[in-house]
């Protein structure tokens, strides 16, 4: 028996479909796209992946489709998994993984890439998976790189996941087996990878009474026949398994088709018009947002007959349901205490009227049906055989005896009946909070945006988009902080400058879930800078999505965005955008964090080894470790770009200092001009991840900050853990603030061991005028930052339910 379960479907914060195949014995395989947020979906649904061996990536390879894969690999490795294989129908998979070499490094796990040619079959004794690679014209070639380039890229991937870990502090950019220049000239073929899954049949039961009648002696001969081997009797006659076994039982086949856009429809039609549908049980249609739901699509679906179960994933078919219910419930409870500090997550859906009417499907409350063609769709496919691909849907496949019984497929839809009304009545009302009501926090707040309102135009605002550490959890996503700094022009207008400080995985999803479309557009129109503090994955796996979204909103202008990162991350951005969107590169103005460091010493970068030279070394008998060269020019600060940034963003100065965390980690300070008519500054300091840095951060670059945003990863009693992992306790963060003479303080980056309320009691005295603890999606007006203090005592009461749930799980 096998189970096919929907892990993720297209929504605001999970952009693509992901399917989990599970055997009766627990073997697990992923099929589809590993978009940002996929890992958090598994946490939300409590899905375990200990027996995961293979990930089959469908469609094209772009960040939108696999932005969640690096984080997923790191988590799988940290769980002690020894082997993992990534499958795709293009050798581009080797380049993709190689681009992560500066920040994805784990020992003890063997990660292999498998570029499957069209029609190539992968088998593990349980399933056979055939690669079907389709281009606009039909068949496609999976080769992007030549043999030597592929050899080098596969070697880099292997070196990212060595069997034995380093014995000392490790910097991948200083490793000559990783700091290698990737190919810069290559053409990415327009092709989409699909898969056909064939399950190994079940051998028929052994019939001993028949064997005895045929003269087979009991003992080893029975065992051989039962295992499928023929035997020869003493009289010379041969007995075959077919004579003594019941008929073998087989399973329905499964087809997973990934169609990125309309340009592929004809190629798919050509490819599958002669497809043998015998024993085909299920077809999954993973449709990109640019696929039009029309007659051409439905006619293609009809090629597979009327008896097949069909699941359709499309942004206009799948409801924009609340995916991360634990996080949404946290927002609701906090909103009950601080109604103006949170937006209710958006769950409005605009779905295809043609699809829902053609296949007679019901929709969720709050759904708008949009019509794109005048004539209604018609199809010969029975409506009960067509299903929107949604979380909670599962197909159970059982074995059957061919020609004696029908295929056995059972469809279950276990979508939870979740609504704001249900959530309030069940989880908020029992708290008996004196200041809240359903009308106040839900009825009057649905669709309301509490960020950058008319009353707060002149105010500095902060949105703590993600506030957790290490990896996404049920209640907190990984770190990202958005700053809005207003500037009053000489004409009296207010210009907003949006700055993003770090952007962990699915930061974009959080923005799209928590803000209406018009507000999202406004945020990206005003976004001026993306800052990255260090190379740990929980701080930056959302940056590519942020940059791509920024570019969407600036296609028709000549704006640039300043990207301030450690130098290795600029390499990654360049390598990735060569693959996906080279035009965006020209709109990015990169500045190294090291070029903003306070003091005269600028640490130099290492030059990458040319790929050809690296490939020669792999073929050479001399395996002596090559020394990397230092790039002497890299110590020359890019003063032109820095001065232009100061002018464009109306900044007085920006400085970094080296954080006490890992190699190439930084804390920063930015002083903003607030008005053309005044020299008044607003100074913001951001710690990134670090141990307390009194000398260089508190007493130097951050001194007298108006606002300090500081990591407070661990509760105070866990000081030893903080020292070991190079983080701060809450008291240590407060001490940094006190020595800095910061006017106001936001504490963030809390350990996922404490996903609810952090330690608010028994801390040292805070000298800042106001302070608060960050929660995901919290909107903080600088002028009223300290108002949270009035509800400190109620925070623990609000999260008693989650605390009990956590204790029960442990």
Query: Would you list the DSSP string of 479-548?
Result: PEEEEEEEEE-TTS-EEEEEEEEEE-TTHHHHHHHHS-HHHHHHHHHSEEEEE---S-GGGTTTHHHHHH
Local structure of residue 128 (DSSP, 8 states): E
Alpha carbon distances (Å) from 540 to 104, 461, 554: 12, 22, 22
Local structure of residue 716 (DSSP, 8 states): G
Neighbours of 270 (CB within 10 A): 14
Give the model's pLDDT for residue 247.
86
d(CA 231, CA 222): 9
Give the model's pLDDT for residue 141.
60
CB 357 within 8 A of CB 372: no
pLDDT digits (tens, 9 = 90+) for 249-284: 999 999 999 999 999 999 999 999 999 999 999 999
Alpha carbon distances (Å) from 648 to 643, 645, 673: 9, 5, 11
Residues 589 and 688 in one domain: yes
Is position 279 within any domain?
Answer: yes
Is position 376 within any domain?
Answer: no
Is position 164 within any domain?
Answer: no
Is position 131 within any domain?
Answer: yes
pLDDT band at 801 (very low <50, low <70, confident <90, very high): confident
d(CA 251, CA 432): 54
The two three-digit tokens of residue 633, written as one number: 């020019």
Residue span of the structural domain in which 646 resides: 451-601+637-744+768-794
CB 655 within 8 A of CB 701: yes
d(CA 655, CA 642): 11
Is position 36 within any domain?
Answer: yes
Local structure of residue 697 (DSSP, 8 states): I
Is position 178 within any domain?
Answer: no
741 exposed, middle or buried (CB, 10 Å; 0-12, 13-18, 19+)? middle
Is position 397 within any domain?
Answer: yes
The two three-digit tokens of residue 514, written as one number: 């928590």
CB 449 within 8 A of CB 516: yes
Local structure of residue 573 (DSSP, 8 states): H
Please choose, from the candidates 546, 644, 549, 632, the residue with its C-alpha nearest in 3D space to the C-alpha of residue 590. Answer: 644
pLDDT digits (tens, 9 = 90+) for 486-539: 999 999 999 999 999 999 999 999 999 999 999 999 999 999 999 999 999 999
Give the model's pLDDT for residue 227.
84
Q: Would you mind telling me the total number of residues written for the chain in this entry?
A: 810
Q: What is the mean pLDDT of residues 436-453?
A: 95
Give the model's pLDDT for residue 621.
67
Domain CATH for 130: 3.60.15.10
Residues 6 and 138 in one domain: yes
The two three-digit tokens of residue 55, written as one number: 């990930």
d(CA 774, CA 752): 13
Residue that is written with structure tokens 């030279």 in the block: 613
pLDDT band at 116 (very low <50, low <70, confident <90, very high): very high
Residues 277 and 308 in one domain: yes
Mutual angle of helices 38-45 and 69-78, in 10-degree steps: 50
Residues 642 and 715 in one domain: yes
Residue that is written with structure tokens 């079940």 in the block: 202
SS (H, E, C) 254-270: EEEEEEEEHHHHHHHHH
Return all residues near 230 (Cβ < 8 A) that are at least 6 apart.
224, 238, 239, 240, 241
CB 131 within 8 A of CB 193: yes
Give the model's pLDDT for residue 168.
61
Q: Mean pLDDT check: name the lowest of 81-95, 108-122, 210-224.
A: 210-224
- Which one is predicted more confidently, 799 or 276? 276
d(CA 752, CA 682): 32
CB 303 within 8 A of CB 272: yes
Q: What is the mean pLDDT of residues 102-116?
A: 91
Please choose, from the candidates 428, 432, 484, 489, the residue with its C-alpha nearest in 3D space to the C-alpha of residue 459. Answer: 484
As a whole number, the mean pLDDT across the chain is 94
Alpha carbon distances (Å) from 183 to 152, 187, 235: 10, 11, 68
- HSE-up of residue 675 (Cα within 13 Å, Cβ side): 8
Flag whether pLDDT at 317 surpasses 80: yes
Residues 283 and 400 in one domain: yes
CB 537 within 8 A of CB 103: yes
Residues 403 and 475 in one domain: no
pLDDT band at 623 (very low <50, low <70, confident <90, very high): low
Give the model's pLDDT for residue 244.
85
pLDDT band at 205 (very low <50, low <70, confident <90, very high): confident
Q: Taken in order 533, 534, 536, 537, is the CA torsion positive or negative?
A: positive
SS (H, E, C) 58-116: CECCCHHHHCCHHHHHHHHHHCCCCEEEEEECCCHHHHHHHCCCCCCCCCCCEEEEEEC
Which among 164-168, 458-462, 580-584 has the top mean pLDDT? 458-462
Residues 268 and 194 in one domain: yes
Residues 674 and 738 in one domain: yes
Give the model's pLDDT for residue 23.
95
d(CA 607, CA 535): 18
Flag whether pLDDT at 411 surpasses 80: yes
The two three-digit tokens of residue 189, written as one number: 């073929």
Flag whether pLDDT at 380 surpasses 70: yes
Is position 655 within any domain?
Answer: yes
Residues 401 and 462 in one domain: no
Residues 290 and 233 in one domain: no
Which among 202-206, 252-256, 362-366, 367-371 has the top mean pLDDT? 252-256
Hey, is 40 helix, strand or coil? Answer: helix
Last residue of a domain, one of 413, 428, 462: 413
What is the number of structural domains in the chain? 3
Give the model's pLDDT for residue 137.
65
Give the model's pLDDT for residue 313.
99
Euclidean distance between the first and the last CA atom of the chain, given in angstroms as a whole number = 31
Please choose, from the candidates 206, 181, 271, the residue with its C-alpha nearest in 3D space to the C-alpha of residue 609. Answer: 181
Local structure of residue 200 (DSSP, 8 states): P
Give the model's pLDDT for residue 754.
59
Quick one: what percent of the chain has pLDDT higher than 70? Answer: 98
Residues 215 and 291 in one domain: no
CB 396 within 8 A of CB 1: yes
d(CA 436, CA 126): 55
The two three-digit tokens of residue 502, written as one number: 């770090």
Flag whether pLDDT at 139 surpasses 60: no
pLDDT band at 290 (very low <50, low <70, confident <90, very high): very high
pLDDT digits (tens, 9 = 90+) for 702-753: 999 999 999 999 999 999 999 999 999 999 999 999 999 999 999 999 998 7
Q: Mean pLDDT check: name the lowest of 304-308, 579-583, 755-759.
A: 755-759
What predicted TM-score, i.e. pTM, was given to this entire model? Answer: 0.95
d(CA 511, CA 57): 26
pLDDT band at 203 (very low <50, low <70, confident <90, very high): confident
| The dihedral formed by the CA atoms of 186, 260, 480 and 12, expressed in degrees to the nearest 10 | 170
The two three-digit tokens of residue 564, written as one number: 């301030």
Give the model's pLDDT for residue 264.
95
Residues 577 and 698 in one domain: yes
Return all residues near 46 (Cβ < 8 A) that are at least 6 apart.
none
């Amino acid at each position: 028996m096998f189970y096919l379960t929907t892990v993720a479907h297209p929504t605001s914060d999970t952009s693509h479909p992901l399917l989990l195949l599970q055997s009766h014995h627990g073997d697990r395989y992923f099929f589809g796209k590993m978009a940002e947020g996929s890992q958090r979906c598994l946490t939300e649904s409590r899905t375990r992946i200990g027996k995961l061996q293979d990930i089959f990536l469908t469609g094209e390879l772009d960040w939108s489709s696999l932005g969640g894969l690096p984080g997923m690999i790191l988590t799988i490795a940290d769980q002690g998994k020894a082997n993992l294989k990534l499958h795709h129908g293009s050798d581009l998979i080797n380049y993709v993984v190689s681009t992560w070499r500066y920040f994805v490094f784990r020992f003890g796990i063997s990660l292999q890439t498998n570029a499957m040619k069209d029609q190539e079959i992968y088998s593990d004794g349980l399933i056979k998976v055939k690669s079907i690679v389709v281009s606009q014209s039909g068949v496609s070639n999976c080769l992007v790189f030549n043999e030597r380039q592929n050899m080098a890229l596969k070697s880099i991937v292997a070196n990212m996941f060595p069997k034995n870990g380093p014995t000392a502090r490790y910097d991948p950019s200083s490793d000559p087996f990783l700091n290698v220049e990737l190919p810069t000239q290559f053409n990415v073929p327009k092709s989409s990878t699909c898969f056909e899954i064939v399950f190994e049949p079940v051998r028929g039961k052994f019939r001993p009474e028949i064997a005895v009648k045929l003269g087979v002696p009991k003992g080893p001969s029975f065992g051989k026949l039962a295992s499928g081997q023929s035997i020869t009797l003493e009289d010379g006659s041969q007995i075959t398994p077919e004579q003594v076994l019941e008929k073998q039982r087989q399973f329905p086949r499964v087809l997973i088709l990934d169609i990125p856009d309309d340009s592929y429809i004809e190629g798919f039609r050509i490819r599958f018009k002669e497809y043998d549908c015998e024993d085909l049980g299920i077809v999954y249609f993973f449709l990109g947002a640019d696929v039009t739901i029309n007659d051409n699509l439905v006619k293609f679906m009809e090629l597979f007959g009327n008896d097949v179960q069909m699941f359709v994933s499309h942004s206009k078919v799948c409801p924009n349901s609340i995916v991360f219910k634990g996080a949404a419930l946290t927002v609701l409870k906090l909103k009950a205490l601080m109604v103006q500090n949170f937006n209710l997550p958006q769950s409005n859906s605009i779905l295809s009227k043609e699809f829902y009417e053609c296949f007679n499907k019901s929709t969720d409350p709050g759904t708008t049906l949009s019509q794109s063609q005048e004539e209604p769709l018609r199809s010969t496919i029975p409506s009960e055989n067509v299903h929107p691909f949604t979380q909670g849907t599962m197909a159970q496949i059982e074995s059957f005896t061919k020609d004696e019984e029908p295929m056995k497929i059972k469809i279950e839809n276990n979508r939870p009946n979740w609504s704001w009304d249900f959530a309030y009545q069940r989880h908020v009302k029992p708290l008996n909070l004196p200041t809240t009501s359903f009308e106040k926090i839900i009825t009057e707040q649905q669709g309301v945006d509490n960020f950058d309102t008319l009353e707060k135009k002149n105010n500095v605002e902060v949105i703590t988009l993600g506030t957790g550490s290490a990896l996404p959890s049920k209640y907190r996503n990984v770190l990202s902080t958005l700053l809005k700094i207003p500037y009053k022009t000489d004409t009296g207008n207010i210009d907003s400058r949006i700055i993003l400080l770090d952007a962990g995985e699915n930061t974009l999803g959080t923005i799209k879930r928590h803000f209406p479309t018009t507000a999202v557009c406004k945020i990206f129109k005003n976004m001026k800078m993306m800052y990255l503090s260090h190379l740990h994955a929980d701080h930056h796996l959302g940056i590519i999505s942020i940059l791509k979204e920024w570019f969407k909103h600036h296609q028709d202008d000549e704006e640039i965005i300043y990207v301030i990162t450690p130098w290795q991350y600029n390499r990654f951005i360049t390598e990735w955008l060569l693959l996906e969107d080279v035009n965006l590169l020209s709109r990015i103005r990169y500045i190294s964090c090291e070029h903003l460091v306070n003091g005269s010493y600028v640490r130099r970068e290492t030059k990458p080894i040319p790929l050809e030279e690296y490939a020669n070394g792999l073929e050479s008998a001399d395996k002596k470790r090559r020394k990397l060269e230092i790039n002497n020019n890299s110590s020359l600060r890019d003063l032109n770009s820095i001065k232009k940034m100061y002018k464009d963003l109306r900044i007085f100065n920006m400085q970094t200092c080296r954080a006490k965390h890992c190699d190439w980690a930084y804390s920063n300070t930015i002083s903003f001009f607030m008005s053309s008519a005044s020299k008044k500054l607003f100074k913001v300091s951001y710690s990134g991840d670090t141990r307390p840095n009194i000398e260089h951060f508190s007493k130097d670059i951050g001194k007298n900050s108006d606002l300090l945003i500081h990591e407070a990863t661990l509760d105070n009693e866990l000081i030893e853990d903080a020292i070991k992992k190079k983080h701060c306790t809450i008291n240590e963060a407060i001490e940094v603030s006190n020595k800095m003479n910061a006017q106001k303080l936001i504490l963030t980056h809390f350990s996922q061991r404490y996903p609810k309320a952090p330690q608010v009691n028994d801390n040292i005295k805070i000298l800042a005028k106001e302070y608060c603890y960050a929660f995901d999606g919290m909107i903080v007006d600088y002028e009223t930052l300290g108002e949270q203090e009035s509800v400190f005592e109620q925070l623990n009461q609000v999260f008693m339910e989650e605390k009990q749930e956590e204790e029960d799980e442990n």
